[in-house]
Amino acid sequence: MAVQEKKRIQVQVNKELAEDTEQVLNELGLSPTTAITMFYKRIVANGGLPFQPMLTQGEKASLHFLKETEDTPVTQLNTVNDVQKWLDNPDED
């Protein structure tokens, strides 16, 4: 059997996401390299992504919430004094 040439792939992902993913993969008995290889093989076999990229219901709700509140005025409180003034007169900016 011929030795297959390897190619190194480097990506940057959110540290917390990477750690959470590695924990799940570890529970499944998979390394990140094995999981990525499986993902690549499915892309080739399917001729595309092995899942339909779409937002979850929670992500959709978050986007809707952000859109609906984008014009909501925000009062920035940087000091204890700012907080106290705001508590004393919440309608004044």
pLDDT tens for the chain, 93 residues: list them. 778 899 999 999 999 999 999 999 999 999 999 999 999 999 999 999 999 999 999 999 999 999 999 999 888 899 999 999 889 987 765
Q: What percent of the chain has pLDDT over 70?
A: 96
- Domain spans in the chain, listed from the N-terminal domain onward: 12-50
Look up residue 79 and give its two tokens: 């000091």
Say how far apart CA 41 and CA 2 lie, in whole Å.
19
Q: 43 near 49, Cβ under 8 Å?
A: yes
CA angle 39, 44, 45 (to 5 degrees): 95
